[in-house]
Amino acid sequence: MARFNLVAVLMLVAMGFVACVQNNEDDGSDLCKEVEYINDHHLGTWNFVYDQQGKETQREWKGGELWDIQNGDVRQSEYDENGNEVYQAWMRADGSVYQEVMTEYDTSNRQLVEYHYREGEWKAVWTWTYQGENLVQKYGKFASGRSDTSTYTYYSDGQMESYRWLLIGDDHVQDRLQVYKYDSAGRKVEECEAYLEDDPDAPCYKTVWVYEGELIKEELHYESDGSTLSRWTTHHYDDRGREILLQKGYYPDTYEAKDPDFWTIIEYKELETSEVEWSKDGISHSSHKFFDEQGRTVRSSEETSLFGGYFTEVTHEYDDLGREVVYTYRHIDHDGEYTERETKSYGNCRE
């Protein structure tokens, strides 16, 4: 048995490998999807299988080594009658299992316990604790001796009052505390964040939100070397509630207003959204999104003068059923051009 590699999955998600597809053909068969992954050369192909509820039941990798995944590796998933994933296993081409995750749920379909194994040995156990409808603690214990604890408190109306994250490692500790306040309309008006690992009385980084009609003013105050530096942000909206202007500036050693240091203008067109940001120091950043008549994103791009300058572009193509069939990512910077391309084909597993 084995623990599931969460880092690998997050990377797969980020690159678009994971997607659930509903089988619209009510013929009692499962749906298969193939995703081919290409950059400078053909890396390999993911073959996915989904059940009638659109839940992924299997994926198989065919190609070269992909992180710690080898050619022929298969991931299988099992679900309970409520659609909760209760078992997940990675196995090699010879059928031997090397990673497993087993999850238990309560009657409200909330996670209670999750066990992670690798090569037959337990590697981690996660537990969730609730009070009424609220999650009050998530705790992870690892075979290495490390622990990871998230604790939550709530006001009487159910809104979160505080969140604390405590990570205890072999040779280090991380301790973060966030405390929230809200106005009578339930909007967050203050957030205080403190880093307690080195000093239990450490000052907090306080963010304050002020609501004035369609304008939201956001201020961040923190202490450094005995002085105070505050950052402010204002958000302006159109009559449809969409943000159209964002301005940022600083209050050096005082809370007196001053001209903004950064501006962002957001424009909405029928099939396009653009966002342009620049600073008084000459730094510029822009992004654009283009949509088809169904509201699906067909192209997005980003260009900046930060970090030496770069340009990225993502395009999507869809079939007649609205499923994505081609995904292309392109990145250009001072080191050259890099392209990733996924092509997806769908079919009945029993055809």
Q: DSSP per residue over 171-189, as a string?
A: S-EEEEEEEEEE-TTS-EE
- d(C-alpha 300, C-alpha 316), whole Å: 9
Q: Specify the pairing of strand 121-131 against strand 243-252.
A: unpaired
The domain limits of the chain are: 1-107, 282-351
- d(C-alpha 83, C-alpha 90), whole Å: 20
Least confident of 93-107, 123-137, 189-203: 189-203
Give the model's confidence band at 196: pLDDT under 50 very low, under 70 low, under 90 confident, else very high: very high
Instruction: Name, in order, each residue with C-beta under 8 angstroms of 94's C-beta and a sequence gap of 6 or more.
Output: none
Q: What pLDDT does 208 receive?
A: 87
Determine the 3-state secondary structure of 102 from DSSP. strand
Average pLDDT over residues 305-314: 91
Higher pLDDT, 224 or 343: 343
Q: Is pLDDT at 224 greater than 80 in this prediction?
A: no
Q: Which of 224, 213, 217 is nearest to 260 (CA)?
A: 217
Q: What pLDDT does 127 receive?
A: 98
- d(C-alpha 101, C-alpha 118), whole Å: 9
Positive or negative: CA dihedral 314, 335, 279, 218: positive
Q: Considering the entire predicted model, what is its pTM?
A: 0.74
Instruction: Name, in order, each residue with C-beta under 8 angstroms of 80's C-beta and a sequence gap of 6 or more.
Output: 86, 105
Q: Is pLDDT at 320 greater than 60 in this prediction?
A: yes
